[in-house]
Structure 1
Amino acid sequence: MWTARLSLSEAGRCTFSLPTCRTEHEANARLEVLAELAGRLLAAGQIVLGMPLLEQAAARDGSALRDVRLALDQLCRGEARPRPSGETTFAEFAELVVSGRLAEQYPLHVKPLRRPEQYRHKLNHVLDVLGPVPLSRLTLDHADRAIAMLPGHLEASSRQGIAKVIHRILALATYPARIIANNPLPRGWVPKADNNKAKSSLYPDEDRRLMAAVNIPLAYRIYYGFLIREGMRADEAGRLEPSDLDLERGAIVLDENKTDDPRAWALSPDVVRALRVYFAMCPPKQRVFSRPSGLPLPGRDGAKSFRDHLRCAGVERPELFETTESRLNIRLHDTRATFITIKLANGRTETWISDRTGHRSSNQIHNYKRAARKVAELGLGDFAPLDEAIPELRGKGRAVGGARLSGGAEAGAAGEGRFLGAAPPGQAPASADVPAASAAEHEAAADGAALGPRWATPAPSAAADQPEVIEMVSVSSARPASARKYRQKDRSIASRRRKRQRFSWSPPVSPPRVAPVWPNGAPSASLLEK
């Protein structure tokens, strides 16, 4: 192992190990670096405090050596001071957040990161500047400098994502960690991203071409077909477990997702049939979708593979593969855009779509309506049934019934007679609610026939041609309650007529004079006069 010796004035003559140097040329080059750094520390009067940095510079290489240089720069400018015990740097607290230890300390206020590797990737861009700075002395200038030093090739959305991570870590350091009193980043510090770029989506004929490409592994095609027909996020589908699917009833339950909003919906019948056949051929293990090697399929990171597979399938539309100032090339995440666009063009409602995609706002779905109108005007139609679009699965839906998704022998069992439209045992509808099925239909069901549309009804049976049975009932002479009701109504009408007659006026008419009839003859005149 090579060593270097330097005379450092008040620090004396010091020896440094050079574990990364294998040749004399490399050792001499590292000695020159150490001499340069020591000279800067001596000029700034920080040689005593800078000794640990010199030791790290002698032992590190690559990006780690760059971090040491930045820390030494801060020390020479007076920004870095010997920190007291218990003072936490930005890098240390960021590791506390990413590792999940902060969520363990404050479970009511901090949720564990679902994808900590994405946080680490974004933090690697700024740890050179912010990492060694104590949180109590981190200022707005430090954060601005970290953003200004980001690589120039990063898109505005990537810069925004990195800024959000910085802001989030400092917010957690304020509360609940209470390491600093206030967040040094003001409101509005996170830069705005330009999200007006047009996004690409596939047409139904391009989807059919992709599904029919037998030179692409079947595991990828069933994965792409599922995403395009169900609208899930790629990372959500990549984490699906066999217990999340109920192929006996054709349903899916998604409890863990990006928005923490559990949702469930009925799968498309053709997707159910395709998954039954596929799982009979390749029973699932820990994940529903996996590579032929057994590793999980990529989530959002599968954009390059997706574009390569599109090219292998003969899809050559230029806008799918070009990134310009106004358009993005197609990504695996754009299978959601494909789903929304085609389903809107074929008359599906926003509620039906949001049940599957998890969108909470109608404005998010509204962004796809212009592209959907274009697809509708062109008459491009809907996606082909998945079990018919993939050649390896075509025509095998009848051979595989509604097998349970358990990953074992049950997944490959055939002809069990379980179908998407069938009711579970013990819950069959009454005969009065459902028309009687024909013998041919019972025979098709026993053979595991392919599923039809959910709104399909059985054909009329032979029983419909039989004469109608008329029930004979006896008629009694007693008046029913309805007769009494009408009689009371007639009485009320007659009463109202009498009232109208009582209050009506007509000129008086003298009654006719009628001679009285006396039983014993006419009375005498005197008696009449009296």
Structure 2
Amino acid sequence: MATKTKDQPVKLPRGNVEERGGSWSLRVRLGGERKRIPLGSGMSEAKAREKADAWLERMAREGYGVDAPPAKREGVTVREHFAAWISGALLREHGPVNGLREKASADVDGWRAAKYIYPAIGDKLVHEVTEQDIDRVMARVPRERREKTHLQLYSLLRRGFDLAVMPARLRKDNPVTRYHRPPKGTAKLFAYLLPSEVLALLACVEIPIGRRVLYALAVYTGLRKSSLMALKWKDVDITHAMLAALITKNGVPQLFEIPAGLVNVLRAWRARCGDPADDERVVQDVECVETREAEQLREDLRAAGVTRAVLFSKEKNVAQIRFHDLRATFVTWAKRAGKTEGWISDRTGHLDRAQLDRYTRAARTLADLRIEPFPDITSAIPELAPAAADGPAGPLTEGGGTPEGGPTGRTHGHLEPIPVGRLHAR
């Protein structure tokens, strides 16, 4: 860019001085884009403004930011735009416009974009993407994959290009049309675990203990994987047997009671981890590969001696067991235990009536087999059993009560949640 001569009038660019964490910076718009120029730390505001003025004068002399036309945002590629959205950069730049918020599923969405979107159109400019390009992306998903995989990719594309219209203003229309939405697939037999299979899974010492704690949390809370992975120790109230899920898919925080057996397991798990700080994650370092947790669960089930054929079936009308089906296991068990839809939704978030009806049918099967849900898992994980069984309120008996003859908490043949430390008659 040519520098301005001394005869030309010098027009200063406009900028603001900001302080964050003790460091000062100059925010200025150059060529239609906002830039941040570090000014340094350990100085007064007056000194920071003095340095900022020097920067502005220099940029004016050299012609930067003066009379420059706004940058054309259509030069952004699909990869750059989706990465900005998924990472949260788009939210930081524009704020909560058009429903923008922090993505709880950023990791899996990033993986999905890298696998299906970027290889097909990642280097293409956003404004150049056509409906035919979306066809090519959708065609990358193998036909044998579940219908939900196709639907998740469609939703990711639809939302990403909707944000390209507003607030990114990279194009005026959305190339993802309703015709790209995958057709509703045929009904499939969904998978869930039986109580005996969960106990076998938790008892298998060949499986890393952290992963077994994660499985216990999933089955006994009904939370999604993203919520489980975000749990911190400060979210677990051992004294009152309550758990707060603050990171959820729909953005609505949840607070609910958890069973005594799970409380005992978590207390023993924290002690085994060396009493980590409250801000530490409960299920960190669980040795579970983020993008293949379904295969990992199936491998773990086989290692635990669980061989029920329907869990591993590859028939077109059967869904193989996945990590998400631990949530389905929780709902099925809860319906079998006679829990209300409100009780279940308090723990799982939004579930519509059609979904719950599917779990009701599965619960009837458990009732026909006279299988009781939610067995006590206090001693289910061998490495944690001694510490879990000998908690602050005294060891729990097999029936759920204290050795002194306290309440058993047994209703309809299963253990009701009993807050450790305040076992009282209900």
Aligned to 1:241: 232
How many residues are treated as equivalent by the alignment?
A: 330
The amino acid of 2:236's aligned partner reads L
Give identity over the alignment, percent: 28
More strand by share: 2
The amino acid of 1:116's aligned partner reads A
**Do residues 108 (structure 1) and 104 (structure 2) align?**
no
Query: Residues 226 and 247 of structure 2 are in contact (CA less than 8 Å); yes or no, is this contact kept in structure 1?
Result: no
* Alignment counterpart, residue 138 of structure 2, candidates 133, 141, 147: 147
Distance 2:299 2:140 in 1: 33
Query: Residues 328 and 359 of structure 2 are in contact (CA less than 8 Å); yes or no, is this contact kept in structure 1?
Result: yes
* Alignment counterpart, residue 425 of structure 2, candidates 456, 467, 470: 456
Distance 2:388 2:143 in 1: 53
Larger relative contact order, structure 1 or 2 (CA cutoff 8 Å, min sep 6): 2
Structure 2 CA distance for partners of 1:281 and 1:128, relative to 1, 3 Å = closer
SS at match of 1:390: coil
Distance 2:119 2:358 in 1: 39
Query: Residues 398 and 450 of structure 1 are in contact (CA less than 8 Å); yes or no, is this contact kept in structure 2?
Result: no
Distance 1:169 1:396 in 2: 48
Query: Residues 240 and 422 of structure 2 are in contact (CA less than 8 Å); yes or no, is this contact kept in structure 1?
Result: no
Gap regions ≥5 residues in structure 1: 1-83, 403-414, 418-439, 443-448, 458-530
RMSD: 3.1
SS at match of 1:338: helix
Aligned to 1:97: 85
**Do residues 287 (structure 1) and 281 (structure 2) align?**
yes
* Alignment counterpart, residue 111 of structure 2, candidates 105, 113, 121: 121
Distance 1:279 1:354 in 2: 28
Query: Residues 138 and 150 of structure 2 are in contact (CA less than 8 Å); yes or no, is this contact kept in structure 1?
Result: yes
Aligned to 1:503: none
SS at match of 1:368: helix
The amino acid of 2:102's aligned partner reads P
* Alignment counterpart, residue 218 of structure 1, candidates 209, 212, 216: 209
**Do residues 276 (structure 1) and 263 (structure 2) align?**
no
Question: Equivalences for 1:133-212 in 2 at 5 Å?
Answer: 133-148=124-139, 150-151=141-142, 154-194=145-185, 196-212=187-203
Q: Which moved more, 1:350-359 or 1:191-200?
A: 191-200
**Do residues 263 (structure 1) and 283 (structure 2) align?**
no
Query: Residues 228 and 336 of structure 1 are in contact (CA less than 8 Å); yes or no, is this contact kept in structure 2?
Result: yes
Query: Residues 243 and 255 of structure 2 are in contact (CA less than 8 Å); yes or no, is this contact kept in structure 1?
Result: yes
Aligned to 2:48: none
Structure 2 CA distance for partners of 1:265 and 1:143, relative to 1, 3 Å = same
Distance 2:291 2:379 in 1: 27
Aligned to 1:336: 327
Residue 281 (structure 1) shift? 2.8
The amino acid of 2:173's aligned partner reads N
Query: Residues 104 and 226 of structure 2 are in contact (CA less than 8 Å); yes or no, is this contact kept in structure 1?
Result: no
Residue 347 (structure 1) shift? 1.7
Normalising by structure 2, report the TM-score: 0.69
The amino acid of 1:104's aligned partner reads R
Aligned to 2:74: 87
Query: Residues 105 and 249 of structure 2 are in contact (CA less than 8 Å); yes or no, is this contact kept in structure 1?
Result: no
Residue 269 (structure 1) shift? 1.4
The amino acid of 2:228's aligned partner reads A
Residue 151 (structure 1) shift? 4.7
Q: Which moved more, 1:308-317 or 1:139-148?
A: 139-148
Structure 2 CA distance for partners of 1:296 and 1:244, relative to 1, 3 Å = farther
Residue 216 (structure 1) shift? 2.9
The amino acid of 1:379's aligned partner reads R
SS at match of 2:371: coil
Residue 372 (structure 1) shift? 0.3
SS at match of 2:283: coil
Distance 1:284 1:198 in 2: 42
* Alignment counterpart, residue 302 of structure 2, candidates 290, 307, 311: 311
Normalising by structure 1, report the TM-score: 0.56
* Alignment counterpart, residue 373 of structure 2, candidates 382, 387, 394: 382
